Structure 1
Amino acid sequence: MPAVPTASWQDYLKSLPLYLLPHHAISRLTLRLTRLRTRWFKNAFIHWFTHQYDVNLDESLYRQAQDFEHFNAFFTRELAPGTRPIEGDACTVVSPADGHISQIGDIDDDTVFQAKGHSFSVTELLGGDTQDAGLFRNGSFITVYLSPRDYHRVHMPLEGKLRRTIYVPGRLFSVAPHTTRVIPRLFARNERLVALFDTCAGPMAMVLVGAINVAAIETVWAGLVTPPHRRQIEARDFTDSDIILQRGSEMGRFNMGSTVIVLFGEHAVRWQSMFAAEAPLRMGEAIGSAENPR
């Protein structure tokens, strides 16, 4: 098991100014800029971003800047068919996204490990509902960080029937590795959308965490969830809607990058031992399995 990274003075230097920034105002500006259709601007922006972050467009369905109507269409680009095979059988848990593992492991009662010296509770992550949080007490979790260069659609780790969503307002701190090592309770402080599903491994929560410059979070069943940014928690019941998403199918996307956290209940899944913090992931890659399939 690799050593858990600790915060450096450079991490503090880069992260602490974030407390002073107008997160939502910056993200509203980003929303507008990334949807400009001015051809020279969006093409130049795409070219710069591709080279700056070493984006691999060979896997994209469209590969030329002029093929995208605006920068956000490029950022949330669709992959070419066959580039992300879905591994395993019906109760193999697959990675929900391309990215790197921020953390993976067991939930300690109600506590999720964020980084050395920092953790947060499942209860606050899910918006304060103790009944929802109780489903995942002593369960398992994985936190996946999507860097700017990554594919930014989020997919289902298992087939699931949507039961409930919770929109939780909050800040929009960066979720880059240096901020997770510095800012306490980061993922429970940022704006986020929680989606609760019933799966063959029991209850599963997928938490899409917003971040600075993440100007929008979408789901396939509701479209744009944020913006607008609200001040109150909003829960929606989908029990009677019969929304069922297949394993590996798209469930949502970040319009600009962020983090997704997946939670399972106690004795629900077993993670593959090869995966640990900082390991790279590809969407559809097998990362675990249901221990007692239902």
Structure 2
Amino acid sequence: MLEKIQILLQYLLPKYWITYLVGLGASWKGGWITRYAILLFIHIYKIDIKESDKPNLTDYATFNAFFTRKLHKNARPIDTNPSTLIIPADGIITQIGKISQTNIFQVKNAPYHLDGLLAGHDNIIDYFINGSFVIIYIPPQNCHRIYMPCTGTLREVLYIPGNLFSVHPKITKNMPNIFSRNERVICLFETNFGYMAQILIGAIIVGSIETTWLGTITPPREGIVRHWRYSSNNTNTDDSITLQKGHEMGLFKLGSTVINLFGDKKVILNNLLQPYDIARIGMPLAQGYSQRK
């Protein structure tokens, strides 16, 4: 009964207004009120603030500054094996496995399709048929910054407008196609292990999705698809962007979900990782097979 109420609320709640108002509150410089609210948040969620590169609460003028805090450089050791891809975010692995043709996984007997997740862009879909995927949910208490699983050269970015349904696992396991219905930012990278997509999913009270090269992508939320294309490193043009393994690529202002897609026979996922395992940045996600000579 509770699950049905939670799903009903996803349709009834004014999600955009809630997100807008929460965003205003999170960006408010409230002095001691903000610091007390952050302290209360740390206590409720049992956050180890010593993992942050700024453990002093006076360094956070707003809730957003705290939500987007950087981790201390030694907080998450990065697996340095060049053939190892790493977990890109702190959170919970909700799904991991193989893509069957274009079906990613099923919720309530309804399959997720690459076509829906990638908004029908066949030039991107073709890279990931029969490939692999991992979905990591980022709870509010975790670091909201997203990192690179391996070194990659950016080729395309797509902003797909959509809904702002909650991406909490209790909702996503009972409500089909949330990831294909919500707004999202799709980043396509060319790597030594074939193409990789890193997809940042929007959700209710996620005030902003940003990347390190474009800055804030949303808001504004204008309902318009946006598409950026980038040159490869070999062309020596100004818009060539290569991000190194373990380097930051984006962030959420409040937690959400990141999805990674890999091509067929390009990587072998770490068989020790299972749904609902705790994910930590830098841990081994997969072993890759180099496609470059």
**Structure 1 residue 291: Cα displacement:** 3.0
Residue matched to 1:35: 27
Q: Deviations over 1:2-29 (max 9, x none)?
A: xxxxxxx432222221111121111111
SS at match of 1:256: coil
Within 1, Cα distance between the matches of 2:264 and 2:3?
34
Query: Are residue 172 (structure 1) and residue 170 (structure 2) matched?
Result: no
SS at match of 2:143: coil
Length, aligned pairs only:
286
Q: Deviations over 1:99-127 (max 9, x none)?
A: 11010001111111154534321122112
* Structure 2: stretches of 5+ with no match in the other structure: 232-236
Match of 1:129 among 116, 121, 132: 121
Residue matched to 2:6: 14
Query: Are residue 256 (structure 1) and residue 248 (structure 2) matched?
Result: no
Q: Deviations over 1:104-153 (max 9, x none)?
A: 00111111115453432112211221121111111000000101111110
* Structure 1: stretches of 5+ with no match in the other structure: 1-8
Within 2, Cα distance between the matches of 1:114 and 1:102?
12
Within 2, Cα distance between the matches of 1:248 and 1:46?
28
Within 2, Cα distance between the matches of 1:119 and 1:27?
28
The change in CA–CA distance for 1:104 and 1:243 in structure 2 (over 3 A counts) is same
**Structure 1 residue 88: Cα displacement:** 3.6
Q: Deviations over 1:63-108 (max 9, x none)?
A: 2322112111101101112111111422211000001101000111
Query: Contact 2:184–2:202 (CA<8 Å) still a contact in 1?
Result: yes
Query: Are residue 237 (structure 1) and residue 248 (structure 2) matched?
Result: no
Give the % identical residues: 38
Aligned 1:13-92 pairs, distance under 5 A: 13-92=5-84
Query: Contact 1:15–1:178 (CA<8 Å) still a contact in 2?
Result: no
Amino acid at match of 1:101: I
Query: Contact 1:11–1:181 (CA<8 Å) still a contact in 2?
Result: no
TM-score scaled by length of structure 1 = 0.94
Aligned 1:191-206 pairs, distance under 5 A: 191-206=183-198
The change in CA–CA distance for 1:114 and 1:64 in structure 2 (over 3 A counts) is farther
Within 2, Cα distance between the matches of 1:218 and 1:118?
31
Residue matched to 2:135: 143
Query: Contact 1:127–1:166 (CA<8 Å) still a contact in 2?
Result: no
Decide which moves more: 112-121 or 177-186: 112-121
Query: Are residue 190 (structure 1) and residue 188 (structure 2) matched?
Result: no
Residue matched to 1:277: 275
Query: Contact 2:83–2:290 (CA<8 Å) still a contact in 1?
Result: no
**Structure 1 residue 41: Cα displacement:** 2.4
Within 1, Cα distance between the matches of 2:80 and 2:160?
33
Amino acid at match of 1:77: R
Within 2, Cα distance between the matches of 1:118 and 1:53?
33
Residue matched to 2:234: none
Within 2, Cα distance between the matches of 1:115 and 1:90?
35
